[in-house]
Amino acid sequence: MEDVIIYGLLRGGIYALAAFGFSLVLGVIGIVNFAHGVFVVFGGLLTHYLATKLGLPYVPALILAAVATGLLAGLIQRLFIARTFTSEPLMVLVQTFGIATVVTELGIHYWGSQERVLRVETGLPPGFFIGNTFVPSFDFVLFLLSLISAGVLYLLIQKTRFGRAVRACRDERQSAQLNGINLSRTFEQTMFVSGAWSGLAGGMFIALSPLAPYMDFDWTINSFLVMVIGGLGSMVGVLVGGLIFGVLAFASSFYVPTVAPSVTFSLLLLFLLFRPQGLFGTGQGTRK
Amino acid sequence: MIRSLFDRSGGHGAARLRFQFAWLAAFALVLVPLPFILNDYWIRVAVFVLINIGLASSWNIIGGFAGYASFGHGVFFGLGAFVGAIGIVRYGLPLPVVMIGGGLVTGVLALIFTPIFKQRGLYFALSSLAVLLIFDNILQRWSFTRGLRQYDVGWSVQPSLSLDGFYYTFLGLIVVLIGTVILLAGSRVGYALHALRRDEVLASSLGIRVLKYKVIAFVFSAAWPGVLGAAFAPFISFVSVQSVLDMKFTLNMILATLFGGAGTVIGPVVGAIALSVIDQLTWGNFLEYHRLIFGALIVAITTFAPGGLVSLFLSLTRRAPKARPDAAPPIGKVKVSS
């Protein structure tokens, strides 16, 4: 029991990191990005590529991959989503689904469809015990790293000029525009941030568990689930949602491995039915 | 007159209805002699096109008319196929009985999922997707449905009809299906759905019982895939979660409808035929890039022609009168879409 919770929490930080961007894009641009999982997988595989093929150390590879994923996301926003996001939300859903298909197919074409995992050599001691549970130190470092990245994102949104523009667009798009905020540029930057943090999540995840191009949709669903648990428009909510989801996903695959997806999706349905605003959601605008 | 076929708004009474049924009859008559012309391969392709037309037309009722994008609609087709397979193999039922059974099972199931209509838009889409994934998981694990576990081999169903027989079965089903869609679109239900798609709050304030019509639309659009799925089981002759609950069925419904034009009777038909042609061409010539081209096509349509082929047609025919020299000059930009 104790070990399940601890291992779940260790993964949960990464799930939260992947979901921040999803929640941000839904809140600010007002779209559900079905291509979101692609960013996670892309960031992970790019980290793997940079570390193994070009021999970069882990941390620079991680940062480089995250920035590249952010650029990809910004590009997708500028070329495609910017043209459609004001029309019916359904079209954007289908459009991002198409984008996800294209990027995934290109990924399979150039990287192959096999699952990859990155072994990172650290000089750290193997791990330590909490109670009777062995905690690998690398997993723990990644967990801390995910919390730090979440903190950086929080400061970015709350304390900077860019963050102010993002929050203004989220709360009142027209007034923001009247006050001289460039909407399309802010949206592109939002998408960049979303992609970068997702890429970071992917790069961290691939150091623990395998990733492959075909997994993008799972990550989209996971991010959505985390956001639904935590609540739209609340960073704390997403963080808590990520940790809860981590424990839940680990527990269900540990105790009932054959029906694990059903358990998580049933939970998603229950949350959507009975608490669509999530645990920390503000209630407003949750049913766009 | 031909424009009324493509129009998104409701009808103009009996004349319009007669006109649409005449078109439907002509469509059916053209397709009847096909098995005498084509070889077996192309008849199989034609059956798949018919199934795609049927699925897209069903999805169109909830997705196009009501404006609720169901992303789990493939589950009804898959369940129908399982009902067909289990009915035929385990209980030895004849095909018409399992077809009705398939429709009933999926229709009742859709009724049970009424609570997800508390959701709207994207939340509804994701809820229905969750339903699909849950059923996918259950059907794969439940011994009654012979999910594909190590020693289970799914359901092998003996085809009870010849290939031509299947072609005519599906042709008949599709004609009846489109007939019911035409009736529905011209009925009170059709008008109510049209109203609630435009503005649900306003519609309900005018006394339209929104939930009732949404449920009618959902059950209608779930029952037909069930019927088609049950007939699909002996046609494909092997039923497993992988073969009938694939995400591609859901995607095809959505894509064909949007490609042709959502919310019109003819849109899904045009879309399904057009997509099938593209599919065949890319499948035959660029097998390796098949999914890539398909995905790129989706992106292209949604980005540059978000109204589909039908709206393209509409905007072309609507632009024509503007060229008249005596017409008043347009002021500003005229909005074409409804």
Average of per-residue pLDDT across A131-136: 81
Give the residue among B220, B219, B221, B246 at the shortest CA–CA distance from B232: B246
Give the residue among B58, B76, B70 at the shortest CA–CA distance from B124: B70
Give the pairing type, strands A127-130 and A133-136. antiparallel
Collect all residues of chain A within an 8 Å Cβ-Cβ radius of residue B299. Answer: 80, 95, 98-99, 102
**From CA B264, how far away is CA B10, in angstroms rounded?**
9
**From CA A31, how far away is CA A159, in angstroms rounded?**
25
Give the residue among B290, B294, B302 at the shortest CA–CA distance from B275: B294
Cβ-nearest to B120 among A87, A105, A287: A287
- Given a cut of 60, whether residue B323 has pLDDT beyond it is no
For chain A, the average pLDDT equals 86
Amino acid at A191: M
B81 CB-contact burial (10 Å; exposed 0-12 / middle 13-18 / buried 19+): buried
Q: How confident is the model at residue A113 (pLDDT cuts 50, 70, 90)?
A: confident
Polymer length of chain B = 338
Query: Which pLDDT score is estimated for A265?
Result: 79
- Given a cut of 60, whether residue B332 has pLDDT beyond it is no
Query: Which pLDDT score is estimated for A91?
Result: 76
- Given a cut of 50, whether residue B164 has pLDDT beyond it is yes
For residues B286 and A82, is the Cβ–Cβ distance under 8 A?
no
Q: Give the percent of chain B with pLDDT over 90.
A: 14
Q: Which residue's entry shows tokens 């801390």?
A: A144
A101 and B292 within 8 Å at the Cβ level: the answer is yes
Nearest CA in chain A to B135: A262
Amino acid at B223: A
Give the residue among B320, B321, B319 at the shortest CA–CA distance from B333: B319
Query: Which pLDDT score is estimated for B156?
Result: 77
**From CA A151, how far away is CA B112, in angstroms rounded?**
43
Collect all residues of chain B within an 8 Å Cβ-Cβ radius of residue A89. Answer: 121-122
φ/ψ of A87, rounded to 5, equals -80, -155
- Given a cut of 70, whether residue A287 has pLDDT beyond it is no
- Given a cut of 90, whether residue A98 has pLDDT beyond it is no
Question: 10 Å Cβ neighbour count for B7?
Answer: 17
Query: Which pLDDT score is estimated for A109?
Result: 86
**From CA A24, how far away is CA A94, in angstroms rounded?**
20
- Given a cut of 70, whether residue B77 has pLDDT beyond it is yes
Query: Which pLDDT score is estimated for B107?
Result: 92
Query: Which pLDDT score is estimated for B247?
Result: 75
Q: How confident is the model at residue A149 (pLDDT cuts 50, 70, 90)?
A: very high
Average of per-residue pLDDT across A156-179: 89
Which neighbouring-strand residues pair with A136? A127
Collect all residues of chain B within an 8 Å Cβ-Cβ radius of residue A261. Answer: 133-134, 136-137
Give the residue among B265, B266, B289, B263 at the shortest CA–CA distance from B278: B289
Collect all residues of chain A within an 8 Å Cβ-Cβ radius of residue B67. Answer: 90
Query: Which pLDDT score is estimated for A45?
Result: 93
Helix, strand and coil in chain B, % to nearest 5: 75, 0, 25
Give the pairing type, strands A133-136 and B155-156. unpaired
pLDDT in tens, B4-62: 555 554 445 677 788 888 888 888 888 888 888 888 888 888 888 999 999 999 999 98
**From CA B104, how far away is CA B79, in angstroms rounded?**
11
Average of per-residue pLDDT across B330-337: 38
- Given a cut of 70, whether residue A282 has pLDDT beyond it is no
**From CA A217, how far away is CA B318, in angstroms rounded?**
40
Average of per-residue pLDDT across A57-70: 93
Average of per-residue pLDDT across A222-229: 86
> B187 in helix, strand or coil?
coil
When mean pLDDT is compared across A31-35, A146-150, B312-316, B321-325, the lowest value belongs to B321-325
For residues A80 and A93, is the Cβ–Cβ distance under 8 A?
no
Q: How distant, in Å, are the alpha carbons of A173, A287, B7, B115, B174 from that of B195? A: 28, 20, 15, 21, 27
Average of per-residue pLDDT across A103-109: 89
Which neighbouring-strand residues pair with A129? A134
Q: Tell me whether A274 touches chain B (CB under 8 Å).
A: no
pLDDT in tens, B172-186: 999 999 999 988 888
Cβ-nearest to A258 among B115, B121, B141: B141
Token digits of residue B37: 């012309």
Q: Tell me whether A83 touches chain B (CB under 8 Å).
A: yes
Cβ-nearest to A94 among B129, B296, B302: B302
Q: How confident is the model at residue A285 (pLDDT cuts 50, 70, 90)?
A: very low
B123 and A287 within 8 Å at the Cβ level: the answer is yes
- Given a cut of 60, whether residue B99 has pLDDT beyond it is yes
Q: Give the percent of chain A with pLDDT over 90.
A: 33
Average of per-residue pLDDT across A28-33: 86
Query: Which pLDDT score is estimated for B151?
Result: 56
Query: Which pLDDT score is estimated for B337?
Result: 39
How far apart are the two ends of chain B, measured CA to CA in Å? 18
The ipTM of this complex is 0.78
- How many A×B Cβ pairs under 8 Å? 113
**From CA B273, how far away is CA B244, in angstroms rounded?**
21
Token digits of residue B202: 């306003």
A99 and B299 within 8 Å at the Cβ level: the answer is yes
**From CA B30, how far away is CA B204, in angstroms rounded?**
43
pTM flag (> 0.80): no
Which neighbouring-strand residues pair with B235? none
- Given a cut of 50, whether residue B322 has pLDDT beyond it is no
SS (H, E, C) chain A: CHHHHHHHHHHHHHHHHHHHHHHHHHHHCCCCCCCHHHHHHHHHHHHHHHHHCCCCCHHHHHHHHHHHHHHHHHHHHHHHHHHHCCCCHHHHHHHHHHHHHHHHHHHHHHHCCCCECCCCCCCCCCEEEECCEEEEHHHHHHHHHHHHHHHHHHHHHHHCHHHHHHHHHHHCHHHHHHCCCCHHHHHHHHHHHHHHHHHHHHHHHCCCCCECHHHHHHHHHHHHHHHHHHCCCCHHHHHHHHHHHHHHHHHHHHHCHHHHHHHHHHHHHHHHHHCCCCCCCCCCCCCC
Query: Which pLDDT score is estimated for B10?
Result: 47
Query: Which pLDDT score is estimated for B153?
Result: 64
For chain B, the average pLDDT equals 79
Please give the residue that has the higher pLDDT: either B35 or A49.
Answer: A49
**From CA B264, how far away is CA A91, in angstroms rounded?**
16
φ/ψ of A136, rounded to 5, equals -65, 135
Q: How distant, in Å, are the alpha carbons of A67, A89, A97, A109, B147 from that of B142? A: 45, 36, 30, 36, 6
For residues B175 and B28, is the Cβ–Cβ distance under 8 A?
yes
Q: Tell me whether A224 touches chain B (CB under 8 Å).
A: yes
Q: Tell me whether B75 touches chain A (CB under 8 Å).
A: no
Q: Tell me whether A106 touches chain B (CB under 8 Å).
A: yes
Query: Which pLDDT score is estimated for B146?
Result: 67
